[in-house]
Chains A and B, each alone.
Chain A
Amino acid sequence: MGAGHAHRLYRHAHSPVHALPPHTKLAAVFAFVVVVVSTPREAVWAFAVYAVLLALVARYARVPAGFLLKRLLIEVPFVAFAVLMPFVARGERVDVLGLSLSVNGLWGAWNVLAKGTLGVAASVLLAATTELRELLLGLQRLRLPPLLVQIASFMIRYGDVITDEMRRMRIARESRGFEARGVRHWGVLAKSAGALFIRSYERGERVHLAMVSRGYAGSMPVIDEVTASRAQWSYALALPLTALVVCLLGWAL
């Protein structure tokens, strides 16, 4: 990360989607995912409509297709499991290109693949248009337990500090001629990890001391109150509501 800079999932721009209050976006993505998941898998056309809806949002948010597709790769390890399903599932079978595949398994794989991809795409869009800091404020606003929000916020603040500490320890190890070359050296790495844990733990104590010194008594003071107008809510919820209509049609047809 360089100067000025946000997380690398975030894509800086000024679009109507970027400008929406974070908690409305969180609620919209969550509702959208719930709607997608509850759509019957046989309604193939519905998933195509969902994809078009997301593409429209991406266009509004000025997120290029390439950026979105590249970040979708994160789901590959999960998709690998879906690909296996037609081979291992039981029930009625069909022959495709000489392979005997389970019909149920094929539907199952399609189900996981389509819903997973749509869910990840929605999340990637959320991350691309909302800064981490804002996400935390949104979660706070949506009344997520404050302890969880605090933990997440400390993770963001101290992630870099601890990575840096780890890097310094590695340089110190290597400067003294150490190279991890195999199982025999795992002991050294494990001890480094232990030392890092103790250091982080002690830092935690010092941070707590600094917090108490400034009047911390168990709860974070609310510094930024995020609010959303009715218009902003309806704007954000347009996506899940449209999706809901599609979903209901999917059940009806």
Chain B
Amino acid sequence: MGPVTAETPSLDVSGLAFAYPDGHQALFGVDFRIGRGERVALLGPNGAGKTTLVLHLNGILTAGAGSVTVAGLPVGRRHMAEIRRKVGIVFQDPDDQLFMPTVREDVAFGPAAAGIKGAELEARVRGALEQVGMADFADRPPHHLSFGQRRRVAVATVLAMEPEILVLDEPSSNLDPASRRELADILRSLDVTVLMVTHDLPYALELCPRSLILSDGVIAADGPTGELLSDDVLMRAHRLELPFGFDPRSVTTSA
């Protein structure tokens, strides 16, 4: 993957601050940009504001101050439908994400809501399911799939909208090692900008060359994943811990 050269970044967040109606302030001026085609991990301890930040990216929450721009388009009431098509969020629990009676209809939901019909819709659905290796399961009800399969279908539901940026909330949670690796292979094969919110540091290292650390509502660090994970002082300061026996310096990544 090349360096960040695209003129318009996929995602540009600047000065983003947000307080919940009860007065709890979750974000205190968040700044970062993600270039087209990058895969970036957003790391941070529980309660750092990661989910709040994600909900700003497609305008579910609107900023108190600052701005979010997706591929040059400011997130706001005016372009909401377009923004929601461009930002594909894969939520943590696939049972929340997959709400239609069959896999095929679920994957078709997004594009159909955007007004796509007939043969083009079918092609989108087939394409998205093939990308995640689930084409044979199109007519199955989602609740009869394994958890790993459901997670993959959840990714397909978003891919079918041909998003500018794919946002994954804890993609590896509750997956067994084999499903975890399968999902990693799929994510690596996609030609799309990825922002991955996770606690799973080895997974971030495996998939994302670059990482952001969100802590106490600000971006505390931004750099190559391997370097950040090797910085013991930084890691400890933000309650990030590597799994027992895992040494990021001993891992060679091809990402």
A240 and B97 alpha carbons, distance in the complex (Å): 42
A213 and B108 alpha carbons, distance in the complex (Å): 14
The answer to whether A197 has its CB under 8 Å from any CB of chain B is: no
Assess A156 versus B101: contact at CB under 8 Å? Given A207-B96, A214-B158, A221-B113: yes
A: number of interface residues (CB 8 Å):
30
Measured CB to CB, the closest approach of chain A to B128, in angstroms, equals 12
- Partner of B58 from the list A133, A206, A213, A223 (CB cut-off 8 Å) is A213
- Partner of A223 from the list B55, B121, B141 (CB cut-off 8 Å) is B121
Q: Does A221 lie within 8 Å of B112, measured CB to CB?
A: yes
Q: Does B108 lie within 8 Å of A223, measured CB to CB?
A: yes
> Which residues of the partner chain B approach A222 to less than 8 Å between Cβ atoms?
112
The answer to whether A183 has its CB under 8 Å from any CB of chain B is: no
The answer to whether B48 has its CB under 8 Å from any CB of chain A is: no
Closest to A203 in B: B96
Assess A223 versus B101: contact at CB under 8 Å? Given A5-B144, A157-B143, A215-B85: no
Closest to B105 in A: A223
- Among the stretches B18-26, B87-95, B184-192, B238-246, the one at the interface with A is B87-95
> Which residues of the partner chain A approach B113 to less than 8 Å between Cβ atoms?
214-217, 221
> Which residues of the partner chain B approach A88 to less than 8 Å between Cβ atoms?
none
Interface of A is mostly: helix
> Which residues of the partner chain B approach A123 to less than 8 Å between Cβ atoms?
none
The answer to whether B4 has its CB under 8 Å from any CB of chain A is: no
The answer to whether A209 has its CB under 8 Å from any CB of chain B is: yes
Assess A210 versus B91: contact at CB under 8 Å? Given A133-B101, A153-B100, A161-B143: yes
A117 and B141 alpha carbons, distance in the complex (Å): 33
A154 and B140 alpha carbons, distance in the complex (Å): 16
Q: Does A209 lie within 8 Å of B60, measured CB to CB?
A: yes
A5 and B143 alpha carbons, distance in the complex (Å): 11
Scan A153-172; emit 1 where CB is below 8 A from any B CB, else 0: 11011101100000000000
A156 and B142 alpha carbons, distance in the complex (Å): 11
The answer to whether B65 has its CB under 8 Å from any CB of chain A is: no
Measured CB to CB, the closest approach of chain A to B77, in angstroms, equals 13
A206 and B60 alpha carbons, distance in the complex (Å): 12
A214 and B96 alpha carbons, distance in the complex (Å): 12
> Which residues of the partner chain B approach A221 to less than 8 Å between Cβ atoms?
108-109, 112-113, 115
Assess A223 versus B143: contact at CB under 8 Å? Given A203-B96, A206-B93, A207-B99: no
Q: Does B84 lie within 8 Å of A212, measured CB to CB?
A: yes
> Which residues of the partner chain B approach A217 to less than 8 Å between Cβ atoms?
81, 113
A4 and B143 alpha carbons, distance in the complex (Å): 11
Q: Does A157 lie within 8 Å of B100, measured CB to CB?
A: yes
- Enumerate B124-162 residues with CB–CB distance to A below 8 Å: 140-144, 157-158, 161
List 22 A–B pairs whose Cβ atoms lie within 8 Å, in order of A's numbering: A133-B102, A136-B101, A153-B100, A153-B101, A157-B99, A157-B101, A161-B143, A206-B96, A209-B55, A210-B89, A210-B96, A210-B97, A210-B99, A212-B60, A213-B58, A213-B87, A214-B157, A214-B158, A215-B81, A217-B81, A217-B113, A224-B105
Residues of chain B having any CB pair with chain A under 8 Å = 55, 58, 60, 81, 84-85, 87, 89, 91, 93, 95-97, 99-102, 105, 108-110, 112-115, 121, 140-144, 157-158, 161
14 additional contacts (CB under 8 A) given A161-B95, A215-B161: A3-B144, A4-B144, A132-B101, A154-B99, A158-B99, A161-B143, A206-B93, A207-B96, A209-B55, A211-B99, A214-B158, A215-B85, A221-B112, A223-B112
Residues of chain A having any CB pair with chain B under 8 Å = 1, 3-5, 132-133, 136, 153-154, 156-158, 160-161, 203, 206-207, 209-217, 221-224
